[in-house]
Amino acid sequence: MAFSAKAALSGVRVAGASARPAAAQQRRCATVCAKKAVKKVQLVLKEQVSSLGKAGEVVTVRRGYADNYLIPQGLGAIATQDVLDAIAQKQREAEAAAEELRAQARKVATAMSTVGSYVIKKKVNDSNELYDSVTARDLIECIHAQLP
């Protein structure tokens, strides 16, 4: 009679055991889905781009859009700190110039309001119709003549 281990242990069961080895039971496959962070970069536009803005503006776009389209086409450049400082300086200068222009316009407006009315002399025919029309140049000369 031949001895068979299978026949000898057929009735014996170990609690909690299964057909797989212990190392295989402990390994679990966990899939973790992590959303990629959207990487954006700041660009200074060199030309007007209809969907982004005008030339000289600083815009924030996705890295792929910048690397694959805007920079190769020459529409934008990466905004470094030096470039941002230069743009801020230009904006301050433009605001100062605009404020100076507004101050001059206010001064002219107050001078024009104090004068009241302007008289432009032109020749007329017998039925009081002008021979010539009143042009913008005539108005400018009249205003300059009456302003202090």
- Structural domain contains residue 31: no
Q: Are 86 and 92 in contact (CB under 8 A)?
A: no
DSSP character at residue 60: E
CA 66/CA 68 separation, integer angstroms: 6
For residue 124, tell me if it sits in a domain: yes
Q: What's the token pair of residue 121?
A: 């002399």
- Chain segment 102-135, per-residue pLDDT in tens: 999 998 888 777 777 778 888 888 888 888 888 8
User: How many domains would you assign to the chain?
Assistant: 1
Q: Is residue 137 part of a domain?
A: yes
Instruction: Count CB neighbours of 33 within 10 A.
Output: 4
Query: Which 3 state secondary structure label does DSSP give 89?
Result: helix
128 inside domain: yes
133 domain-assigned? yes
71 domain-assigned: no
Residue length of the chain = 148
Range of the domain at 138: 117-148
DSSP letters, 21-49, are -HHHHH--------PPPPPEEEEEESS-B
For 76-92, the pLDDT digits (tens) are 999 899 988 988 999 99
Output the CA–CA distances (angstroms, integers) from residue 137 to 23, 104, 127, 134, in the order listed: 98, 21, 25, 8
pTM here is: 0.48
12-65: per-residue pLDDT in tens? 565 555 555 555 556 666 666 777 777 899 999 999 988 889 988 899 999 999
